[in-house]
Amino acid sequence: MSDLRETYLKAIAGAGDEATLEALRVQALGKKGEISLAMRELGRMSAEERQEAGPRLNALKDEINSALAAKKQALADAGLDERLRGEWLDVTLPARPRRQGTIHPVSQVTEEVTAIFADMGFAVAEGPQIESDWYNFDALNIPGHHPARAEMDTFYTHRADGDDRPPHVLRTHTSPVQIRTMQAEGAPIRVIAPGRVYRADYDQTHTPMFHQVEGLAIDRDISMANLKWVLEEFVKAFFEVDTVDLRFRASHFPFTEPSAEVDIRCSWEGGTLKVGEGDDWLEILGSGMVHPHVLLAGGIDPEQWQGFAFGMGIDRIAMLKYGIPDLRAFFDSDLRWLRHYGFAALDVPTLHGGLSR
């Protein structure tokens, strides 16, 4: 019996995998295992012999069982160690540049614009892209018969036959967010609202979907002078130049009074655009003092509050800043274009870290 013990303990210690262990278990303790058979012999022994051999066999059975369990655990631990060694990952390795995606110029410029206006105390507001006729037009002082509705090349949704409520529209500008913000927050307000807008138009500088950023500042004593300062600060920061020359041209929007379109001085010498010098002017946005009707539609008392608003084309200023000639390519999802004009994912634009590097 001490032979059996030694043979099995040695074999168990030397087993290299679970299958070998299981084979050993069956060989020793299975129904026809050596130890099981020896136990069956007990019946044929005399009482004295049995009293001596019985406990010894039981002890041997226990010993082999625990040796099997211990070895099984040891094998599992070794397996885990092995796997952990194999799956070790160097978290300090840099990302693989070849697999890196890029940030779309529209996203990049939106981040840049947001960083600049955040620094001047503007929060970001949002509104739906499918907008009611009232928010997109009426509330902005553009009543049903107004020619501006026709000029906007609006996409209308379809109403069921017999439903004569005005259809919803794909918003033609970000200005409805002005109304939504006024209603949600009341005065005072300082927000920008970047987002998608839609007009039925398609050529080198127009796509049916494009991006605008609205600006809205409302307080008790806001004037055109504040508008001018904010826009100058923005343009200097955005185009990364020390001086800019802005030209305010009298214009007309139903939702602002007075209204101005803003041009910036630039040069096209050598085919590349330089901002801040030269003899050319480039229109970049529409703006003005918020019309009292618009304040009223937003639930704000025009006797107490006034403010400025502006709307700027994000794609447009992205084309200017990064020298991208055709707007349509922005939305073609051509990987070669994206790799060429895209931005590294980890270079988040900030005022201190640099906007466009």
Site residues, ligand PHE (CB under 6 A): 173, 175, 253, 256, 286-288, 309-311
CB 214, min distance to ligand PHE, A:
6
- Kindly list the distances between the CA atom of residue 168 and the CA atoms of 46, 172, 209, 328, in Å, as whole numbers in the listed order: 101, 11, 16, 26
CA dihedral 189, 252, 202, 315 (to 10 degrees): -40
Angle between helices 105-119 and 224-239 (to 10 degrees): 130
Quick check: 238 and 116 in contact, CB under 8 A?
Answer: yes
Q: Which residue, 108 or 256, is less far from ligand PHE as judged by CB?
A: 256
Q: Which residue, 28 or 300, is less far from ligand PHE as judged by CB?
A: 300
Q: Which residue, 34 or 232, is less far from ligand PHE as judged by CB?
A: 232
- Closest among 203, 197, 119, 99 to 152, alpha carbons compared: 197
In the chain, the amino acid numbered 346 is: L
Q: Which residue, 155 or 337, is less far from ligand PHE as judged by CB?
A: 155
**Distance of alpha carbon 86 from alpha carbon 91, whole angstroms:** 15
Q: % helix / strand / coil in the chain, to the nearest 5?
A: 45, 20, 35
**Distance of alpha carbon 354 from alpha carbon 348, whole angstroms:** 9
Q: Which residue, 35 or 260, is less far from ligand PHE as judged by CB?
A: 260
CB 285, min distance to ligand PHE, A:
7
Quick check: 285 and 313 in contact, CB under 8 A?
Answer: yes
CB 261, min distance to ligand PHE, A:
8
Quick check: 147 and 214 in contact, CB under 8 A?
Answer: no
Q: Which residue, 207 or 287, is less far from ligand PHE as judged by CB?
A: 287
Quick check: 106 and 330 in contact, CB under 8 A?
Answer: yes
- Closest among 298, 262, 300 to 282, alpha carbons compared: 262
CB 319, min distance to ligand PHE, A:
17
Please identify the residue of the shown chain whose CB is closest to the bound ligand PHE.
311
- Closest among 228, 299, 294 to 264, alpha carbons compared: 228
CB 175, min distance to ligand PHE, A:
4
CB 205, min distance to ligand PHE, A:
14
List the beta bridge partners of residue 275: 266
Q: Which residue, 12 or 314, is less far from ligand PHE as judged by CB?
A: 314
Residues in the chain: 357
Residue found by looking up tokens 């040891």 in the block:
74
**Distance of alpha carbon 124 from alpha carbon 193, whole angstroms:** 6
CB 165, min distance to ligand PHE, A:
24
Radius of gyration of the chain (CA): 39
CB 152, min distance to ligand PHE, A:
8
Q: Which residue, 35 or 227, is less far from ligand PHE as judged by CB?
A: 227
Q: Which residue, 103 or 231, is less far from ligand PHE as judged by CB?
A: 231
CB 197, min distance to ligand PHE, A:
7
